[in-house]
Structure 1
C-alpha cells in the first residue's frame, strides 16, 4: 500500500491556487458585466445631480446600453437555437443517470433524490458510493451491454414509471497509448464511452417522444473530444463521437419533438478519481473543475426546462476555435498547455483508492484488479 502511495504525483497547492480566469469572469458577470449593476452607475451619477450631457453620464450610460445589448442578444440567440423551455415538475420527473454510483453522476442523483424527484442510477459497481442516498433507486447494469440496458429499462418503467430525463454520464478511461492497448481494451472503451449512448437513447428516447411533457437528454462529453490528447486516443475518439451524436440528435429532435430538450456538457479536467494523477499545467487558465460546479449547471438547465451547452472551465467553451487557428499556432498552444504530457502522471481510480483520497467503488476496484481499465461515472 505504501509503495502505491509513493508513486502518486504530488499535489500542486499554493496560496493563489483558487485564483483563476473563471473566478475573475464570475466576479465580472455579477458586477460590471451585469445589466442591472451597469445601470446603477449612471443612476448614481444622476442622483448626484450630474447633467445628462456630462462625461461620466455619457460614458456610463453607453456602457450600460452595451452590456444590456449583449445580454439581450444572448437571450435571443439562445431562444433561436434551442426554442422555448418545457415545464418541469420534479414530482413527476423520472431521472435516469448512467455511471451514477460515484462522482458527478452521484452528486446529481443525490440532489434530485433529496428534492423529491424519482431517480434511477445505472452503474457497473455493486452499490452506490453513498448507499444511504435518499430517493435514489440503484440498478446494477453495464450500459455497454444493450441487452442489460433493455432489461433494466423495463424494470425502471415497472418500478418507477416512464423516464423523462436521461443523463448519459458513464465513462471508462484506459490511460494508455494506442500501441500499448489491446484491441479488446479499445473495443471495450469505445463501447462504454460511445456505443452505450446509442443503446440508452434507443431504449429511453421513444418513451419521451410519446410523453406529453416531453423530456430532457443530457450528454456528458469532454473538451478532449475537440482537441485530443496523447494517451487518450480511445477516450478522445469516443468523446468526439458523442459530441457529434448529440448535435445530430438535437437537429433531428428540434422540429419534430421540440418538447424534448438536449444539454451537451463538455467539461475540462474534473477532480474525480477517474482522472486521478493528471495535473493541469495552469491553475489560472485551465483550472481543475469541481464536480459540484458542473452538477449545478446541469441541474439548473434541467430545472428550467432548457436546452443548452455547459462548458467548464472557460477554455472549454472556446475549444472549437482551436481548430480555426493556423496549424503552427495550434502546435505552439499544445506545447504551452502541456496537454500531451498531462497523462504521464495518470494513475486513475485505483491510485485514488490507494492514496486514501477517495473511498469510491472499492468493490468494483477489487473485482477488476486484474484489468487495466479504470471504470467509473465521469
Structure 2
C-alpha cells in the first residue's frame, strides 16, 4: 500500500498538494495527515475526522477517517472502493467534528484519479479458451457440416430469387418512407431543436415568469471564448459557490489560486484572503505589551492590515516577520506615534522579505500601531 504523508495547516487557506492515483486501486492509497494551526499541533482529543470529496460531475463522498494519535494531531484515511470508483479530478478535504456543536474543514486537496485500462475490456485468455473448445467440437462433425453446405448451396439460387422479388416489392415502400423521413427532418431543422447533450446554441437564452436555471452537477456555468480567459462557476458540497478563471486563453486549466468564493453566510472570499494570523515577535529585539493583543496580520483582497503593540524595541533590528502572501511588493514606510508623555514619532518599515524594522526609537519607549497597505 502506498502512503502519502501530508502536513495541513488550518491557518493556510491554500493547500497545493496534488495526489495522483488510479481508478479501482481500492485500499491501495493511504493519506497520513499531520494537522496543525499556525504551525502548532492541533489536539484531536474528543473529535471525529471525516473525509469529504466531490468531482466535476457532482458525485459526493463522505467517509470516516481514523485518528492515529489525537495528542499529536495525526490521522489517516485509506481511499475506499467508492472513493476510487470514478476517474475524475476530485476536490477533497477533511472535516473535524465534535458532536453537532463544532465543525472545521481543511483547505482543499486535489486528487487526480486516472482511468483503469482494464475496465470494460474482454479477458482475452478466457475468450481464446472458449474458442478452442468450440473448435474441437466442430472437428468431430466436419462431415455433417460439408453435407449441410451442399444443401445450402442448392438452396442459395432459390433464396436469391425470393430476395429479388421481395426487393422489388419493397422498393416503392422504401422510397415513400424516405420521403416521409426527409420531410420530418426538414420540419425539425426549421424548429431549431437543441439536443439534450453535446449540442451548441447561438444567441440569447431568455425565459419568462419564474423560470430558473437548475444544475445537478458541481460545474454550473462556464463562459469565455477560445481566445480569452474563461470562467467556470462551481457549487461545492457545503454550499459555497466558487468562481475560477482558466490559466490560458480558451483553456480548461482552472487556476484555483485565483478563485474567489461566495460562502453560505453571504460573505465573499478570495483564496488568498486570511483570517487574523498571530505573528510571533523576535523576543531578542522587542517585547509584547501587557494587557494588549499580540501582533496580528490579515489579508482581505489586495489590502493587508498589521496591528499590535511593542516595547523594549532595539532600533533597526528585525522585531517580527510578516507571513508569506501578506508581504508588500516594495518596502513600506509609515510613521507611528511613540506613546508618551512626551509624545514623538518613529519610522515603521516593512521590507519585501516581510522583516519589520523600527527607527528613531529607544528601548524604553512603547508603540501601538495599525498599518494598512496594498499587495
User: Smaller-chain TM-score range?
Assistant: under 0.3
Give the helix-richer structure, 1 or 2.
Answer: 1
Task: Output the TM-score relative to the length of structure 1.
Answer: 0.21
Task: Output the TM-score relative to the length of structure 2.
Answer: 0.21
- Structure with the greater relative contact order (CA < 8 A, sep ≥ 6): 1 or 2? 1
Give the strand-richer structure, 1 or 2.
Answer: 2
